[in-house]
Amino acid sequence: MKTNLAFPQVFSLEGELAVVTGGGTGIGQAIAQSMYAAGARVVLVGRREPELAAAVKGMGNGAAYAVHDITDTAHSPALVERVTKEHGPITCLVNNAGRHLKKPAIETTSQEFLEVLNTHILGAHELTRLVVPGMIERKRGTILFTASMASLFGIPLVVAYASAKSAMLGMVRTLSTELSPHGIRVNAIAPGWIETEMSRKAMEGDPTRRNKIIGRTPMAKFGEPADVGWAAVYLASRAAKFVTGSVLPVDGGVAMGF
């Protein structure tokens, strides 16, 4: 079967407008940078304007930001309306914003649990719900979620986070089934241990934990944020036009290692 798409154009995101939540730092920023490098225009969404402004400045024309807390779902319609008015139709949504909580399960309160769910699940669902009608109208679109190793196996002290990330995979599967007939693909990336400012702070003064992570990672190293960024480019590109409902581990082999 022949196709008109050839390398490297098949991986190009030219003509796409990607909205990346939690895009000011870490993995979200890397996803935005990679998509921008692949030709997409990007809008970074987050709560902290200085970080967003710095991230956009590092990219240049075709990159913008919007300050918004995705848990503030009452103002999510205004966000989508503003982005669409200023930049055009949203063709790719990356639900990356997250909230971590490290605490024993029996000490995790209902309120803390709900705050994590509000970010990963309710906030992401609301933005997805708002951008999908336009995608249906245009008969194309991609939606990506940043999942986690906590979606795939048990990790202690993160009951709220693991529950939210596991629920996210249910959302990916249901959305992909509902939206595939409309030309909309929905996928997730499950990063392993990635070297970010947040992970470095978490490892400070705890060489035992770092060694344990390296020891169970077959590639025996941490990943880089760009490893996740380029995986996102693939899933958003025409190279993945027959891929939906998938969860792509970017983890150095952790999910299958022993």
Q: Residues 36, 65, 161, 234: which is the catalytic one?
A: 161
- The one-letter amino acid at 72: D
Burial 112-142 (b: 16+ CB within 10 A, else e): ebeebbbbbbebbbbbbebbbeebeeeeebb
- The one-letter amino acid at 65: Y
For helices 26-37 and 49-57, the axis angle rounded to 10 degrees is 30
- What CA–CA distances, in Å, run from 87 to 15, 16, 150, 186? 12, 11, 35, 22
Give the CA count within 13 Å in the CB-facing half-sphere of 197: 6
161 is catalytic: yes
Locate 93 and state its tokens: 């949504």
Residues in the chain: 258
Q: Which residues are catalytic?
A: 161
